[in-house]
Structure 1
Amino acid sequence: MTNSVNRREQASQKRRRLTAAAAVVLHEQGVERTTLADIAREADVPVGNVYYYFKTKDELVRAALAAHSAHLDELTAHLEEFEDPRARLKALIEGWIAQRDTAARRGCPTGTLAVELDKRTDGTLDAEVGAVVRRLLDWAADQFRALGLPDPEGLALTLVSGYQGMSLLANALRDPDVMTREGTRLLSWLDSLRVPDDPA
């Protein structure tokens, strides 16, 4: 019994390593240039074992999307520790700024995947990456709604669009300062938002 439990745990750990490796390598190299061998190497798993867990590259892309989704869940759970919704949103932006070097080298992990998958003709994985982006938009809209601001969905779209735009430009220009400058601008914009008739 103990041996079968250990084997299951080892298999689960191996799958998690492969999933995390897929998220990293796909961000670094893109879907088309990534091979299963690249992911096996990053995960330190024999390449033959990859096929046991993931039969196709698309299954690995789905696993990477699941990793992005789990990371978003962890991030928003951490941000919920702030009592004030505005502080949560500011902490989110500050986190984006802190990732400026990665953004300059590779762009936003989810955003770059969305762009790449949109070029494919089967139309399945691009919808799945869109669902991850939608979760961030919904979370941000909830924060603006909690602040009592009008059009929370529109404000969330402005915020996330700002992030995607600055990530894209930082990557295109290979300039992490784009993230700093535009992130600071987003922070100022956030501070300027007031509930109508708010005396402050």
Structure 2
Amino acid sequence: MGIEFPSGQRRSSVNEQSVPLLHSFPVWHKYNRGGRRLMHGLYTTDEFTRGGVNEMCSKSTHNRQRIVEAAEMLIYHQGYNQTSFSDIAQSAGLPRGNFYYYFKSKDEILLAVIAHRQELLQQQLEAWSRESIGPRDCLHRFVHMMQDEHGELLRYGCPIGSLTQELSKTQTGLRTQARALFELMQHWLSQQMTQLEVPDPLGTAMHLLGRCQGVTLIGCVYADQGFLEKEIEQLDEWIDCL
């Protein structure tokens, strides 16, 4: 007589037998003579659920995040079209062959990079809203973001602006995805302008956003920190007059 297994299957032998685990993890279950399910003879099902699966999921998430962060840095520093799978693999410290488990194409990696940036930007804007003493203070914090990141900005420009500009020329289908980052900033800035009761909240928000992008671009072209600081001072004065 065989042993009745949880899945309803029967085996003709009561010796340990390997039964494929019905999910994506490359693991095998074993059954001992008492019908107790083991994990390589080491874990019970509950122990595997708490430990093995969670550990594998954690490692998978970690590796995916390494790829996204490596790609984000490379795309910012050298551009999307100049960044290859090999560049990302080397920077992430992962074999290139492993990439296809997480991403099927470079475009998929870019979409993950955009989503990651959007998440971080959302968190930053929400933090400013919580910590600031009012909408005018929020606007000052937004402008001074250029000063806080002046080293990277003067060398590589705005990470959002440079990416969107590049995609507008070569990957128009992805441009809309990247534009969502600008729309997030636009919406938040418009909220601050509305609270300040300016006549045209959206138009004023767009003016500030465009001014910051222009300042960043010229600052990068000339690698001029003095210019950047002077423009930030003028923007501070403009905000105080709103």
Shift of 1:107: 0.4
Whether the aligned pair in 2 keeps the contact of 1:100 and 1:180 (CA below 8 Å) is: no
1:51 aligned residue (100, 103, 116): 100
Corresponding position: 1:179 with 2:236: no
Task: Give, as a single letter, the amino acid of the residue that structure 1 aligns with 2:213.
Answer: Q
Give me the whole-angstrom Cα distance separating, in 2, the residues matched to 1:157 and 1:163: 10
Corresponding position: 1:160 with 2:209: yes
The answer for the alignment partner of 1:197 in structure 2 is none
Q: As a proportion of its length, which structure holds more helix?
A: 1
1:110 aligned residue (151, 156, 160): 160
Corresponding position: 1:191 with 2:240: yes
Corresponding position: 1:75 with 2:124: yes
Q: Determine helix, strand or coil for the equivalent of 2:224.
A: coil
The answer for the alignment partner of 2:10 in structure 1 is none
TM-score normalised by structure 1 residue count: 0.91
Shift of 1:173: 1.3
Cα distance per residue 1:125-175 (max 9 Å; x no partner): 101111110110010000110111110101111111011101111111122
The answer for the alignment partner of 1:87 in structure 2 is 137
Give me the whole-angstrom Cα distance separating, in 1, the residues matched to 2:223 and 2:97: 36
| Structure 2: gaps of 5 or more residues | 1-48
Whether the aligned pair in 1 keeps the contact of 2:122 and 2:184 (CA below 8 Å) is: no
Whether the aligned pair in 2 keeps the contact of 1:166 and 1:182 (CA below 8 Å) is: yes
The answer for the alignment partner of 1:20 in structure 2 is 69
The answer for the alignment partner of 1:135 in structure 2 is 184
Q: Determine helix, strand or coil for the equivalent of 1:124.
A: helix
Cα distance per residue 1:23-63 (max 9 Å; x no partner): 11100010111011211222222222122211111111111
Whether the aligned pair in 2 keeps the contact of 1:18 and 1:40 (CA below 8 Å) is: yes
Give me the whole-angstrom Cα distance separating, in 2, the residues matched to 1:176 and 1:71: 25
Task: Give, as a single letter, the amino acid of the residue that structure 1 aligns with 2:195.
Answer: A
Give me the whole-angstrom Cα distance separating, in 1, the residues matched to 2:94 and 2:234: 43
The aligned length equals 192
1:146 aligned residue (195, 206, 215): 195
Give me the whole-angstrom Cα distance separating, in 1, the residues matched to 2:225 and 2:119: 26
Q: As a proportion of its length, which structure holds more strand?
A: 2
Q: CA RMSD in A?
A: 1.2
Greater C-alpha Rg: 2
Give me the whole-angstrom Cα distance separating, in 2, the residues matched to 1:138 and 1:169: 25
Whether the aligned pair in 2 keeps the contact of 1:22 and 1:63 (CA below 8 Å) is: no
Shift of 1:85: 0.7
